[in-house]
Amino acid sequence: MATNGATGGAAAAAAHNQLVQAVRASGVIVQLEPKEFQEILAHTEKALVVVAYGGFLSSSYKYLVSYKGFAFYTKSQTQLSLPGDAQTVTAKKIWVPQ
């Protein structure tokens, strides 16, 4: 007979395994403040930026860009100003593991 502690431990192990699998699938994602994200964009020529707007309890803008093999992500309550040569792709949703 399993105890609640054993069941909780199994659930925690399963959740951890799902997180590990998500990180493996998505690679390395670096979360930045919006200002730091814009600094990365300033160094990126013809950046391809994925943008999504929405949220569960409060709406926000989410941005994702690749630079030197890393994926950089930020979330902002206001729309960010992107460089003029940046290309954008509007996504329905951006999800990153927490």
Please write the tens of the pLDDT for every residue from 10-61. Answer: 777 776 566 556 555 556 889 999 999 999 999 999 999 999 999 888 899 9
4 inside domain = no
CATH number for the domain including 77?
3.30.720.90
Cα 5 to the chain's mean position, in Å?
Answer: 32
Which has the minimum average pLDDT: 12-16, 41-45, 70-74, 80-84? 12-16
Tokens of 52: 């999504």
Whose tokens are 């007979």? That residue is: 1
Helix extents (H) in the chain: 4-26, 34-42
73 inside domain = yes
Pairing label, strands 29-31, 70-76 = parallel
pLDDT greater at residue 57 or residue 64: 64
Domain tally, the chain: 1
pTM: 0.72
What pLDDT does 19 receive? Answer: 57
